[in-house]
């Protein structure tokens, strides 16, 4: 049966694909020429600023108005800085400083970096209200636990990014901050009445309506989405976000390869159709994409139009909104000057010290290894790049002992550096034993908790683990060269 090429082009116009490597393969360029909306870049696409600028130029040679997206949140989630860590603190640090002008400046700087690299859609800022202290996927990506604080910084972040001509995408609607599960791995549920959602989770999205895009969450919120994830809920996307809140920009899905979407729909192509039917405009396929997967998604969309699951007008509206965002990003925008010291200066303001740093001079620095979320990926963190000759060791809490570390310290104080130190019982026990028997300071670079090890001399909270956060912590401890 002959394929309707006009319908195929419309279907492609709703997709953000991806590809491996530092250069775009032929199929990725061909799809852009055929109408693909664009591609998302990941760390595996980025080797250097010069290389990524050449890559984005090659993509635009195939389609001048291509959307080139990236997850560049600053802080713990960075793609441009995936080899070193971000030069900017993330949202938790900006939230604790609570200076909206600083937030706007940091995001304008991120936007300028992205514009220089040829990226025109940032899948940021994260505007979830992190009310679950042990949230495994949001945490330091959030501005905080207060809806009003998050709302004012959401607005500032959007304005900052878009001042550089980079479209902002506020995420993850209707709010991923109250979950204790990761939607990359399963379908989390937020079982709260609509009244709570309106007071706690939704205000930041209302504040971010000037964003060119808003991203959906693969979370189930029975009061709002019924049994479906929000990405598949027409009530959530069309009735609430568009109808009640009046959002006129592009509704982008979180990656459809995530278990919270793909398993719920029975596959990525089926998830694409359900998201479009609910009101999504631009479908982020994910990181593991090839030509065959794109073809399968397009075939399913075309079939859905044929059997009535999807109206042609729904596709046309989606592509129209996406094209409008691409046109906006192509309009010249004035960019601010790059301030090399901005990130560290902002991170310094977020450092909080409890207790006294006296007596922690010339320590043995012990970094406790930790995992990473899929959103973060494996990005360097800690104090090592900033230490001026100070010895550092990295240990796994389950395979070392307090007595062994005290012996290695040889009379020096110990500074323990970690992320979410309280979460693992063996890590908590190790730090508590050290603090009870030795002179110890603690640097927490994850989302702060109420846990404090008895006997520790000082507890330092950075509110993030970016390169800038590490520098600020090392400075506070007097461990840098200057």
Which two structure tokens, joined as six digits, stand for 153?
């910084």
Q: Are 222 and 178 in contact (CB under 8 A)?
A: no
Could you confirm whether 463 is annotated as catalytic?
no
The CA-atom distances, in angstroms, between 243 and each of 204, 236, 247, 309 are: 17, 10, 8, 22
What's the rounded Cα separation, in Å, for the pair 220 and 222?
6
Question: Residue 284 belongs to what H/E stretch?
Answer: strand 283-284
* Cβ–Cβ < 8 Å for 363, 476: no
Smallest CA-to-CA distance from 169 within 117, 216, 130, 137 is with: 216
DSSP code for 450? S
Indicate which residue of 172, 184, 386, 438 is catalytic: 184
Q: How many Å apart are CA 9 and CA 35, to the nearest integer?
A: 5
Residue 302: C-alpha distances to residues 263, 283, 297, 317 (Å) = 21, 15, 9, 16
Annotation says 420 is catalytic: no
Distances (CA, A) of 85 to 52, 464, 466: 17, 11, 5
Q: How far is CA 328 from the centre of its chain?
A: 23
Please tell me the distance from the alpha carbon of residue 255 to that of residue 96, in angstroms, as a whole number: 29
Buried b (16+ CB within 10 A) or exposed e, 351-371: beeeeeeeebeebbbbbbebe
* Dihedral sign, Cα of residue 395, residue 401, residue 403, residue 404: negative
Q: Which among 228, 254, 420, 422 is annotated as catalytic? A: 254
Q: What positions carry a catalytic annotation? A: 184, 254
């Amino acid at each position: 049966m002959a394929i309707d090429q006009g319908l195929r082009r419309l279907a492609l116009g709703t997709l953000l694909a991806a590809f491996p490597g530092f250069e775009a393969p032929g199929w990725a360029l061909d799809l852009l020429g055929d109408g693909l909306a664009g591609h998302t870049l990941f760390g595996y696409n980025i080797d250097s600023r010069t290389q990524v600028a050449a890559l984005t130029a090659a993509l635009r040679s195939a389609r001048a108005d291509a959307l080139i997206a990236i997850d560049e949140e600053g802080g713990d989630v960075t793609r441009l800085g995936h080899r070193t860590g971000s030069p900017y603190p993330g949202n938790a640090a900006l939230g604790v400083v609570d200076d909206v002008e600083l937030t706007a400046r940091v995001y304008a700087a991120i936007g300028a970096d992205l514009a220089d690299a040829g990226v025109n859609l940032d899948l940021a800022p994260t505007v979830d209200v992190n009310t679950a202290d042990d949230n495994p996927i949001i945490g330091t990506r959030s501005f905080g636990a207060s809806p009003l604080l998050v709302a004012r910084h959401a607005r500032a972040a959007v304005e900052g990014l878009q001042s550089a001509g980079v479209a902002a995408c506020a995420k993850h609607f209707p709010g991923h901050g109250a979950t204790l599960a990761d939607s990359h791995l399963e379908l989390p549920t937020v079982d709260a009445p609509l009244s709570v959602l309106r007071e706690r989770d939704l205000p930041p999205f209302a504040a971010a309506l000037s964003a060119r895009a808003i991203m959906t969450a693969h979370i189930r919120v029975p009061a709002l989405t019924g049994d479906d994830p929000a990405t598949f809920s027409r009530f959530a996307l069309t009735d609430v976000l568009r109808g009640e809140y009046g959002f006129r920009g592009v509704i982008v899905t979180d990656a459809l390869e995530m278990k919270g979407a793909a398993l719920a729909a029975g596959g990525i192509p089926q998830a694409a159709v359900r998201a479009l039917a609910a009101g999504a405009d631009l479908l982020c396929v994910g990181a593991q994409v090839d030509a065959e997967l794109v073809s399968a998604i397009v075939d399913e969309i075309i079939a859905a139009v044929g059997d009535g699951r999807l109206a042609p007008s729904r596709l046309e509206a989606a592509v129209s909104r996406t094209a409008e965002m691409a046109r906006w990003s192509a309009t010249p925008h004035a960019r601010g000057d790059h301030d090399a010291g901005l990130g560290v200066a902002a991170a310094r303001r977020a450092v909080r010290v409890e207790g006294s740093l006296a007596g922690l001079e010339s320590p043995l620095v012990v970094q406790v290894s930790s995992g990473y979320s899929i959103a973060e990926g494996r990005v360097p963190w800690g104090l090592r790049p900033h230490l001026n000759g100070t010895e550092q060791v990295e240990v796994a809490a389950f395979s070392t002992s307090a007595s062994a570390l005290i012996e290695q310290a040889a009379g020096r104080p110990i500074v323990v550096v970690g992320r979410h130190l309280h979460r693992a019982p063996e890590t908590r026990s190790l730090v508590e034993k050290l603090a009870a028997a030795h002179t110890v300071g603690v640097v927490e670079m994850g989302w702060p908790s109420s846990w404090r090890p008895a006997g520790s001399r000082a507890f330092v909270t950075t509110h993030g683990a970016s390169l800038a956060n590490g520098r600020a912590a090392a400075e506070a401890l007097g461990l840098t060269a200057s």
